[in-house]
Amino acid sequence: MRTIWIITKRELHSYFDSLIAYVMIVLFLGFSGFFTWIYGSDIFLVGQASLRTFFSIAYWTLFFFIPALTMKSLAEEKRSGTLELLLTKPVSEWQLIWGKFLGSLLVIGIALALTIPYIITLSSIGNFDLGANLMGYLGLLLMSAAYIGIGIFTSSISTNQIVAFLSALFVGLFFHIIFGVLANNMSGSLGGIFSFLDLNTHFESIARGVLDTKDIIYFASIMFVGLYMSVISLAKRNMN
Amino acid sequence: MDIIIQNLTKRYGSQNAVDDISFEVKTGEIVGFLGPNGAGKTTTMKIITNFIAATKGDVSIGGKSMKEDAEELKKHIGYLPENNPIYEDVPIMDYLKFVAELQGIPKEKIPARIKEIIKKVGLNDEKHKKIFELSKGYKQRVGLAQALIHDPDILILDEPTTGLDPNQIIEIRKLIRELGKEKTVILSTHILPEVEAIADRILIINKGKIVANGTAEMLRNKAKSNEVIKVSIEGGDTNEVFNALKKLASVATVDFASRDNNSFHLESKPDMSTKHDIFNLCVEQKWFISELTPVEQKLEDIFRELTLN
């Protein structure tokens, strides 16, 4: 656990030292703030003291930002050879991957925490359901965990960050849209399977304020499979 | 801690990068790994440090097998990988702190330890810089510092002096020799005088196999070669001397050592010495010898002989 935290700290440092984290957070707040408060079907148009608008925008901004955040994590270590430095220290592959994962998740956590003023504003102007809105945040965090899992995996298979970024988007696209579209076009058990695989279904149900173990298992599985495959991909250097 | 390597083999596809090698390194011994590029030096080091797994064979350190106790054994190893990979965008102090934490050094001891190590490798004047601001030689020192920070029993250094200037090379060699008194050190290099200067023992590896194992002295003796002597003879005509030398029973070849005076390189026939015959010849002809020096066979020649086939 100590080792994981040391790597997480180093990961956070590298995000903030290289400005990636600042750029990300500013863009995230800028985009979601603009569409939540100023433009389109914003909160004033909807006319409800609810952050649903924000959640559906963050649902998309995070989808694009997370691969940008995770693309560096392992690809760069592999390219520069520092992976060798880390893994010949008393650090296991799992510890490294968990450290990287937590580092990225914390950056997302910080970005989301900076939208707390939204909650304060809304609760002062209307009848605000704190519980339901906090569930929305939980949904975003769970979705981020799943996408970080995917992002770290795609970063582990390449030494090129762009390849890692694009493949993370490609894999993510299936969960984000394609499974949902397939589920709508198919009936019967196949449709049911696709509907279960569709990330939006699970996200919506949490964002509505319903916490179902099924949804948590869904996000946790994507995350675990991603991280597990990253470990396998790192261990592959031992096989031929 | 002793390192024992048994029947280590690493296959890449159909090629054996390391082919069934076995050797031991004892505590307080510095072993120099020598070999042409692609001979398997780096691969062997990566296996010893548990970065990659061997196809066959085992590494045991202090009596424990790398296959069973890898996580425990890794704590005892300080490793400087080839090309010195390093986080560029980090200040030196932060980087060393990160490595010290990973190595499990207690928090309260870290600042003192970093101070000590920075002094040891000669980074004191640069310590507040970020790593990308450093020259290659200083980066190499940071690489050494991170390998040494937890005072490991075993040091594995893959080409530790590349990129250093001559003064730095001498300093680093001195440091390694000092460390080697109590630690077990394996270092690789392709600079031949370097192994002679640092290592107690030399391992020459070629195409994944160990082709020589011994002190520089032993290797010289082992390489079967004929005596070569540089001799300068005065008092006679150059051609006359040349022909006379050529006729001597013990001389295999004669060559001019330089154009303008009577200096020659003489190679003896196997198991013979030419010195006696030269002396007799000169007495007979009333020439005199102004120089007679054995030309020592260089490690380079031994290296070439063992690795060029």
Q: Is the pLDDT of residue B129 over 80?
A: yes
> How many other CB atoms are found less than 10 A from the CB of residue A200?
18
Residue in chain B closest to A9 (alpha carbons) equals B98
Round the CA-based radius of gyration of chain B to a whole number and report it: 25
In the numeric block, the tokens 């769970």 are attached to: A142
Condensed to tens digits (0 to 9), the pLDDT of residues A173-224 reads 999 999 999 988 888 888 888 888 999 999 989 988 888 899 999 999 999 9
Contact A82 B86 (CB under 8 A): yes
Contact A85 B81 (CB under 8 A): yes
Contact B83 A240 (CB under 8 A): no
- Over residues B210-237, the mean pLDDT reads 79
Q: Is the pLDDT of residue B283 over 70?
A: yes
Contact B77 A88 (CB under 8 A): yes
Q: Which of A207-211, B40-44, B257-261 has the highest mean pLDDT?
A: B40-44
Q: Using CA atoms, how far apart are residues B120 and B109, in angstroms rounded to an integer?
A: 17
Contact A237 B52 (CB under 8 A): yes
- Over residues B123-145, the mean pLDDT reads 89
Q: Using CA atoms, how far apart are residues A115 and B134, in angstroms rounded to an integer?
A: 40
Query: Three-state secondary structure along A29-92?
Result: HHHHHHHHHHCCCCHHHHCCCCCHHHHHHHHHHHHHHHHHHHCCCCHHHHHHCHHHHHHCCCCC
Contact B83 A81 (CB under 8 A): yes
B→A interface, C-beta within 8 Å: 11-13, 46, 49-53, 55, 71, 74-75, 77, 79, 81, 83, 85-90, 94, 98-99, 101-104, 146
First to last CA, chain B: 36
Q: Is the pLDDT of residue B297 over 70?
A: no
A68 phi and psi, to 5 degrees? Answer: -65, -30
Condensed to tens digits (0 to 9), the pLDDT of residues B149-178 reads 999 999 999 988 887 888 888 888 888 998
Please provide the DSSP assignment of B263-299 as one string. Answer: EEEEEEPTT--SHHHHHHHHHHHT-EEEEEEE-PPPH
Report yes or no: A12 and A107 within 8 Å, Cβ to Cβ.
yes
CA-based nearest distance B50→chain A, Å: 6
Greater confidence, B174 or B219? B174
Q: Which of B88, B89, B103 sits opposite A89 (nearest CB)?
A: B103
Sign of CA pseudo-dihedral B227, B229, B235, B236: positive
- Look up the pTM and report it: 0.85
Q: Is the pLDDT of residue B89 over 70?
A: yes
CA-based nearest distance B140→chain A, Å: 14
Instruction: Identify the band that residue A156 occupies on the pLDDT scale cut at 50, 70 and 90.
Output: very high
Tokens found for residue A69: 């955040």
Nearest 5 degrees, angle CA A56-CA A43-CA A148? 25
Q: Using CA atoms, how far apart are residues A179 and A70, in angstroms rounded to an integer?
A: 23
Q: What is the ipTM, given to two decimal places? A: 0.88
Ranges of H-type helices in chain A: 2-17, 20-33, 43-46, 52-70, 75-80, 82-87, 93-113, 116-125, 130-156, 161-173, 179-185, 188-197, 199-207, 213-235
Contact A88 B50 (CB under 8 A): yes
Residue in chain B closest to A11 (alpha carbons) equals B98
Condensed to tens digits (0 to 9), the pLDDT of residues A112-147 reads 999 999 888 888 887 888 888 899 999 999 999 999
Q: Using CA atoms, how far apart are residues A216 and A218, in angstroms rounded to an integer?
A: 5
User: Which of chain B's residues have a Cβ under 8 Å away from the Cβ of A18?
Assistant: 89
Instruction: Identify the band that residue B288 occupies on the pLDDT scale cut at 50, 70 and 90.
Output: confident
Contact B77 A3 (CB under 8 A): no
Q: Which of A82, A88, A92 sits opposite B49 (nearest CB)?
A: A88
Q: Which of A7, A82, A238 sits opposite B52 (nearest CB)?
A: A238
For strand B3-12 and strand B56-61, is the pairing parallel, antiparallel, or unpaired? Answer: antiparallel
SS3 A149: helix
- The pLDDT, as a whole number, for residue A59 is 92
Contact A87 B86 (CB under 8 A): no
Condensed to tens digits (0 to 9), the pLDDT of residues B92-121 reads 999 999 999 999 999 999 999 999 999 988
User: Which of chain B's residues have a Cβ under 8 Å away from the Cβ of A7?
Assistant: 102
Q: How many CB pairs under 8 A join A and B?
A: 64
- The pLDDT, as a whole number, for residue B224 is 57
Q: Using CA atoms, how far apart are residues A198 and A192, in angstroms rounded to an integer?
A: 10
Distances (CA, A) of B295 to A41, B134, B227, B267, B287: 91, 43, 8, 10, 22
User: Which of chain A's residues have a Cβ under 8 Å away from the Cβ of B13?
Assistant: 240
Instruction: Using a pLDDT cut of 70, give the percent of chain A over it.
Output: 99
User: Which of chain B's residues have a Cβ under 8 Å away from the Cβ of A81?
Assistant: 81, 83, 85
Distances (CA, A) of B137 to A109, B42, B111, B175: 40, 21, 24, 15
Q: Using CA atoms, how far apart are residues B222 and B204, in angstroms rounded to an integer?
A: 13
Report yes or no: B277 and B248 within 8 Å, Cβ to Cβ.
yes
